[in-house]
Amino acid sequence: MEEPRIGVYLCWCGTNISKMVDVEAVTKEVSTLPYVVLSKNYKYMCSDPGQDLIIKDIKSHNLNRVVVAACSPRIHELTFRNACEKAGINPYLFEMANIREQDSWVHTDRSEATLKAIDLVIAAIRRVRYHEPLQKRTVNVDPATLIIGGGISGMSAALEIANAGKKVYLIERADHLGGQVARFDLTFPHLSSAQQMIGPMIQRVENHPMISVSLNTEVKEVDGYIGNFRARLAQKGAEQPEITFGNIIAAIGLKPFDPSVIEEYSYGKFPDVITSLEFEDNLRAGRILTKYGKEPRNVAIIHCVGSRNRKYHEYCSRVCCMVALKFVHEIRAALPEANIYEIYADMRAYGKGHEEFYAMTTHKQIIFLMYDQQKRLPVIREAHRDDDCNMLIEMNELLSGIDIEVPVDMVILMVNMEAHENVKEVVRTIGVSLCGNQFFIEKHPKLDPVATTTGGVYIVGTCQGPKDIPDSVAQAKAAAARILATIAQGSVPVEVTTAIVNESLCCGCQTCISVCPYSAVSYDEIKKASVVNEVLCKGCGTCGGCCPAGAITSKHFTDRQILSEIEGIMSMSY
Amino acid sequence: MSVRVQPELRSQLIQFGIGDWNACYHCGTCTAQCPLSEEGFLFPRKKIRLMQMGLKDELEASVEPWLCYYCGDCSTSCPRDANPGELMMSLRRYLTSIYDWTGLSKKFYTSELWELGFIIVFAILVVLSFLVLLPSMGYHFTRELTAQGGVQLNAFAPIHVVETFDWCMAAVVASLLISNILRMYYKIIWKYGNMKVSLWVHIREFWLLIFNFAVQPKFNKCDDKRYWLSHWFLMSGYTIMFIVIVVYLPWFQTQKILPIWHPQRLLGYYATFGLLFGLFVAIIGRIQRKDVKFLFSHISDWLFLAMLTLTAITGILIHIFRINGMPLATYISYITHMAVLVPMILIEVPFSKWSHLAYRPFAVYFQQLKRYAVPRESGHP
């Protein structure tokens, strides 16, 4: 290894750092440390003149290691790595010390903060000495895409990708495309027909030359990594030829909550207590009739069935409030004289045009009754013999505090959106994680809501969380755009700081395999040692941390690098 | 015990002037800013809720609508334009019809034909009694009468006949009103809830009734004090006029024109001023429609103002013509005066808007009784 020649740069960050840290003193203090060739400070290191200073010094002083003490590496590590690369040294021969978030911003004593800055910079200097150059790697991307689920989300993504001229394998477990939307009559808030929307879309998907639709089909096995997946499919149990593709979209959808577990509602016991989806079936058939074949004179719609209740699901399904209001319009049109009750817990009208839709619906002569969905659910009972209704709903009306009973002939339960029953199987085959409610977890809740922690695997629609049609479509198209970008690039960069196994030290306990969140470690039966797939590995370091034999090293986080860093931070005595 | 919701109540309430009550989404802003709403007697939101749900018995047992004096602040601050002030006003109309056992109140409030029809029939009866009944009894409304010179008011309208009629009318109105108040008491105190109020509390708190009738202190709690003043002038003028006409008619309606400083004339002038002042404020307000409280006028609101104004104007005309010795004009004014006054008192006081002169102070009294109510022992129905 060549002699380390380290350049140290301290940033003032305007007054953000210089106000609390004596930058000059730190610069002077670290300048005499071993291997430090020079130490400088500048008002804004991240600015172009700041970066130019580093580039110029690397060239003129022949530096081969750089330390910048500034803000968080989350903000500017990449900036300075690029500067190093520009100057001709490997970007991994750089280390950043955070003297803003971890020092100047959080302390009030200037002299102590300055001492802390010295410690942090020394630690970085000690660490960077042992940094090794790492090479960037890429893998080629197969232009085909596998989409699991033929609902509106899967079809939207499929059309988007296929219209760009790329191959799509769209597989659907049921015997038809369309998913849940195919069951709906009208949609909110414009009351436009779901059938007229989904019908032509199915046609387009089925007739598209770039989309290969497989109905009654399930994914048996997927292996490979981003850009290079292989899958075995099974159609009605019969194995299909293997397909290869570069990206996967999971659009497996939802399962409606089964309300029979809620005793209070007697679903399954009273024939005229039906779920919202069963009611959609009635609406599509063009009739609103009780099981006795009569037009109901009193219809109640109970919101939040299985939602927002710790006993069932704590989360909100987001669409049911508006669907319930949509039902009001459809019932009012069919039965102008009927009494309609909206038995709700909170009216949630968060979306575009939703509040207006709610306000408009309140003028449809309906009675809103509020209940406490945590403490006391309404109870549906059989009516007394002399009542002129089929059932009675007993409830405590929250806005008046009065115990009331509501005469009803038909009750519609607005059932919650649950994760699909197939979810565990899909998780196993494509390797994504689940949240507590069994929905797929996105890579970043704000900045990357369509990708997953597994490269090349995207999640769209209600399998990621309850959402309405526009949100599902938007997410599907976002995923399609992401995939088309990687296909257009032809290759994707993969993680550099991966783990490697020293096969001679590996004892074959396979602890690493059980802890790896990315399924990147496998066991080589011949060598009797664990093997890390460098494309799947994200460099989290979990395997290295738990390896009892010390056989696993995480690149850029070697024991020597970390121990020197610790020594550095402990070296000052005051 | 659960209460059954009655959605059909809606169609009934609509007839009393209630518009779109579903606009209310129960934020409670109205109740929060109402200076009259208080713990245990919260309104308007809670009353709107009862209306929306069709809880008839709860509504009929409410004193709160009468505790509202309609300053209109609730309607101004309502974020949904649900107009809680007008909903309370409509509720008072509904309650008036509920207290009334004859069913006429509901007819008058919900049918303009019925109300106008009754007024016209009574007016015709009054005119007929002057033209036919009195002459047949020997009181001739003839030229000889006027020929004697000056205005012979007591010969034209014999004082004991008019007085007797006044007392009869007062008795009818009072018995109707009292029976309605008893029904109000039954619904608010007796029937509703498991509570009992001792006789002593009834007696001890009775002063509240008198005090509230005379001063309307609750009205003065509204942020806008102007209407309390004009209302008080109207109320005091009306009350004085009513008492002197019914109880002291021989003292008030004299053949001789008394000097201007005589209490008879001073009282008359004060009452006339009070009436005119109150009427002026209300009529201008309802025409301008600047204040929320005057934004919506039910037919009963206008009829009430119109009849009272006509009564006042004809009363003033009688006085002017009499002082100036114009017999025929005086007699015609007198007949017109009576033709408006009689139906006004017979219809408005027991059945329509004027019944509030009794229901409001009684509501304050009943509210106080409710405060001192104790739970009834179990076993009592």
pLDDT tens digits, one per residue of B44-86: 999 999 999 999 999 999 999 999 988 888 999 999 888 999 9
* pLDDT above 90 (res A471): yes
Flag if A363 and B20 touch (Cβ within 8 Å).
yes
Phi-psi label, residue A27: left if phi above 0, alpha if psi -120 to 50, beta otherwise? alpha
pLDDT at B131: 82
> Looking at the complex, does the CB of residue A361 fall below 8 Å from at least one CB of chain B?
no
pLDDT (mean) for B139-163: 69
Nearest chain B residue to A360 by CA: give it: B23
User: Tokens at residue B9, please?
Assistant: 């109540």
What is the span of the domain harbouring residue B33?
A: 9-99
- Top residue of B3, B4, B5, B49 to mutate, by most chain A CBs within 10 Å, is B5
- Which class does domain A6-134 fall in? alpha beta
Residues of A within 8 A of B54 (CB-CB) are: 367
The pLDDT confidence band at residue B245, using thresholds 50, 70 and 90, is confident
Tally of structural domains, chain B: 2
Residues of B within 8 A of A404 (CB-CB) are: 2-5, 53, 55
* CA–CA min distance B61, chain A (Å): 14
Instruction: Provide the sign of the torsion angle of the four alpha carbons A303, A309, A312, A314, taken in this order.
Output: positive
Nearest chain B residue to A396 by CA: give it: B2
| Residue recorded with tokens 């400083």 | B261
Q: Are residues B194 and B174 in the same domain?
A: yes
CB-nearest partner of A363 from B1, B22, B25: B22
pLDDT (mean) for A363-371: 92
Q: Are residues B158 and B78 in the same domain?
A: no
> Looking at the complex, does the CB of residue B28 fall below 8 Å from at least one CB of chain A?
no
pLDDT at B130: 83
User: What is the Cα B313 distance to its own chain's centre?
Assistant: 19
Residue B309, in any domain of the structure: yes
* pLDDT above 60 (res B143): no
pLDDT at B379: 46
pLDDT at A299: 97
* pLDDT above 90 (res A55): yes
pLDDT at A290: 93
d(CA A557, CA A543): 12
For the ranges A126-135, A243-252, B234-243, B248-257, which has the lowest average pLDDT? B248-257
Q: Are residues B195 and B311 in the same domain?
A: yes
A227 backbone dihedrals φ, ψ, rounded to 5°:
90, -25
d(CA A438, CA A253): 12
Q: Are residues B64 and B196 in the same domain?
A: no
Q: Are residues B222 and B301 in the same domain?
A: yes
Residue B380, in any domain of the structure: no
The beta strand positions in A243-331, using DSSP E, are: 243-245, 247-250, 254-256, 273-275, 298-305
> Looking at the complex, does the CB of residue B18 fall below 8 Å from at least one CB of chain A?
no
d(CA A25, CA A42): 13
> Looking at the complex, does the CB of residue B48 fall below 8 Å from at least one CB of chain A?
no
pTM of the complete model: 0.80
CATH superfamily of A145-253+420-492: FAD/NAD(P)-binding domain (3.50.50.60)
B267 backbone dihedrals φ, ψ, rounded to 5°:
-60, -45
Fold match between domain A259-418 and domain A495-555: no
Q: Are residues B276 and B337 in the same domain?
A: yes
* Mean of per-residue pLDDT scores for chain A: 94
- Top residue of A297, A400, A404, A408 to mutate, by most chain B CBs within 10 Å, is A400
pLDDT (mean) for A407-434: 92
Q: Are residues B187 and B48 in the same domain?
A: no
Instruction: Provide the sign of the torsion angle of the four alpha carbons B241, B245, B246, B249, taken in this order.
Output: positive
- Domain with residue B57: its CATH number is 1.10.1060.10
Q: Are residues B33 and B154 in the same domain?
A: no
Residue B236, in any domain of the structure: yes
B99, B121, B152 - which closes a domain: B99
B356 backbone dihedrals φ, ψ, rounded to 5°:
-65, -20
DSSP A376: B
pLDDT at A356: 94
> Looking at the complex, does the CB of residue B5 fall below 8 Å from at least one CB of chain A?
yes
Contacts of A377 (CB under 8 A, 6+ apart): A262, A264, A265, A309, A371, A395
Within 10 angstroms of residue A343's Cβ, the number of other Cβ atoms is 25
> Looking at the complex, does the CB of residue A362 fall below 8 Å from at least one CB of chain B?
yes
* CA–CA min distance B303, chain A (Å): 31
If 0-12 CB within 10 Å is exposed, 13-18 middle and 19+ buried, where does residue B319 land?
A: middle
Residue B4, in any domain of the structure: no
* CA–CA min distance B153, chain A (Å): 59
The pLDDT confidence band at residue B381, using thresholds 50, 70 and 90, is very low
Q: Are residues B109 and B86 in the same domain?
A: no
* Mean of per-residue pLDDT scores for chain B: 87
For the ranges A402-406, A465-469, A487-491, B217-221, which has the lowest average pLDDT? B217-221
Residues of A within 8 A of B29 (CB-CB) are: none
Q: Are residues B171 and B83 in the same domain?
A: no
- Top residue of B6, B22, B43, B59 to mutate, by most chain A CBs within 10 Å, is B22
User: Tokens at residue A286, please?
Assistant: 């063009």
d(CA A372, CA B340): 56
pLDDT (mean) for A223-250: 92
CA distance readout (Å), B298 to B94, B109, B289? 13, 9, 13
pLDDT at B250: 87
Higher pLDDT among residues B257 and A356, named by residue: A356
The pLDDT confidence band at residue A518, using thresholds 50, 70 and 90, is confident
The pLDDT confidence band at residue A536, using thresholds 50, 70 and 90, is confident
Residue B241, in any domain of the structure: yes
Contacts of A46 (CB under 8 A, 6+ apart): A11, A70, A71, A76, A79, A80
Flag if A362 and B23 touch (Cβ within 8 Å).
yes
Instruction: Indicate the pairing of strand A457-459 with strand A94-98.
Output: unpaired
pLDDT at A278: 96
3-state SS of chain A: helix, strand, coil percent to 5? 35, 25, 40
pLDDT (mean) for A541-556: 93
pLDDT (mean) for A469-475: 97
Residue B377, in any domain of the structure: no
pLDDT at B380: 45
The pLDDT confidence band at residue B139, using thresholds 50, 70 and 90, is low
The domain locations on chain A are: 6-134, 145-253+420-492, 259-418, 495-555
pLDDT at B142: 54
Residue B170, in any domain of the structure: yes
Residues of A within 8 A of B3 (CB-CB) are: 402-405
- Quick one: CATH architecture of A259-418? 3-Layer(bba) Sandwich (3.50)
pLDDT at A574: 47
Flag if A402 and B20 touch (Cβ within 8 Å).
no
* pLDDT above 70 (res A1): no
* pLDDT above 50 (res A464): yes
User: What is the Cα B191 distance to its own chain's centre?
Assistant: 25
Three-class secondary structure assignment of A117-151: HHHHHHHHHHHHCCCCCCCCEEEECCCCEEEECCC
Instruction: Let me know how long chain A is.
Output: 574
> Looking at the complex, does the CB of residue B26 fall below 8 Å from at least one CB of chain A?
yes
Provide, rounded to the nearest whole percent, the portion of chain A with pLDDT above 70.
99
pLDDT at A206: 97
User: What is the Cα A258 distance to its own chain's centre?
Assistant: 26
Question: pLDDT tens digit string along A188-231?
Answer: 999 999 999 999 999 999 999 999 999 999 998 898 889 999 99
* pLDDT above 80 (res A105): yes
d(CA A83, CA A91): 8
Q: Are residues B48 and B127 in the same domain?
A: no
- Which class does domain A495-555 fall in? alpha beta
pLDDT (mean) for A277-299: 94
pLDDT (mean) for B238-259: 87
Higher pLDDT among residues A85 and B223, named by residue: A85
